[in-house]
Amino acid sequence: MYKLIGLDMDGTLLNSQKQISARTQAAIQAAKDKGVQIVLSSGRPIEGLRAYLDLLGLNREHDYVVHYNGSFVENVLTGEIIRQQVVSAADVKTIGRTARALNVNTHAFSQRLGLITPKSTEYTRLEAQINGIEIHEIDFETLDDDHPMIKAMIVDEPEKLAQAYRNLPAAVVEQFTIVQSAPYFLEFLNPQSNKGLGIQAVAERLGIPAELVMCIGDAENDHHMLEYAGLGIAMENAMPQTKAIADYITASNDEDGVARAIEKFVLA
């Protein structure tokens, strides 16, 4: 039986109304009752996950959360950081300059200030709204070199973002882990940061081998954890490239896809 389930949030655990269905909550509780470790693994900051962690009762001493797409792995109860891989202020400036050259918008996450951007757009406002955080308008070039950062993002209309993704300079591609978490979000992480390494850190802390790990996701930023897991599951609503690497495809996030997968592979 699988001993650890890693769950993406948006487009996977959450339905289109950003809610966790009753069936999914029941399946997760039943898995927990069987001793299965449930780990939320998201591109969101911890602030955007607290309410869901509390709702699912994932706030005990041995519960961990992977946030910022694996940049941090944290004990939910104690706040102990068991893994941290972040970008520098210089990295954020590089992405800011790249975004300007490609005529797309950008924002980033600072360890001191939270969500920062040179110019607030509908996509930065969406990021703030999803996570319940404030926006701080700051020119990236004014950041001190030692300013502690987390990750940078290019955010724009899906068509513009796709074109920018294709046209990224080779030096930038080589410098970061780059993942698309939504059609309008492209994320630039520390090269040693991804959800797969985050889930691996939790599994190793708990003594659970990869073959007993099951992960479920819908987007490119989930690929590393789907590939790490003994069983990688994509949602029916997943990106085509995500479905292509999955071992199994479950129903969509509006059709209790997570619950159906847990029922089939853990509770049956």
Do 131 and 114 contact (CB within 8 A), yes or no?
no
- Report in angstroms the alpha-carbon separations of 146 from 108, 116, 172, 189, 223: 15, 16, 20, 17, 31
Q: Which of 17, 13, 18, 16 is nearest to 56 (CA)?
A: 13
Largest distance between two CA atoms of the chain = 56
Helix (H) or strand (E) holding 96: helix 89-102
Please give the span between the terminal C-alpha atoms of the chain, in angstroms, as a whole number.
10
Q: Is 91 a catalytic residue?
A: no
Strands 4-7 and 37-41: parallel
Question: Catalytic one among 8, 10, 91, 156?
Answer: 8
What are the residue numbers of the active site? 8
